[in-house]
Amino acid sequence: MGASKKRTAPNARVVESSKGIFPSFRAASKATGVEEGTIQSRIEKGWTADQALGIEAPPKIEPRGKEVVCAGVKYKSVPSLARAFGFNNIRVYKRLARNWPPEQAVGLEPAPPCRITKTAFAG
């Protein structure tokens, strides 16, 4: 009997990186110590092989926040607005949710008057 070849899964995907060419995610995992599933999901998300294997830094994530304009200045998100004025971003989110203008939400202008209704005092 001849020596048997090492079996490779028929659906294995080749991983080409600066550390070498690996016949599968499993082989790349064994060589680098990164979990097989982690490598696969990273590559499926569009990471390069070197990023997926931990050789290079991961790609930078673009903020997905909603742009906010306050006092004529554009901020990428509510948290960046809150940081710029030293506020907790949850507080700013809540104020904006109550329809406060951004300038009031971060204390550039006085807060809107408090609205007290009769039902607030009903027992």
Give me the tens of pLDDT residue by residue for the chain, a chain 123 residues long: 556 666 667 778 999 999 999 999 999 999 999 999 999 999 999 999 999 999 999 998 876 778 999 999 999 999 999 999 999 999 999 999 999 999 999 999 999 988 776 665 655
Give the C-alpha separation, 79 to 39, whole Å: 31
pTM recorded for the entire structure: 0.50
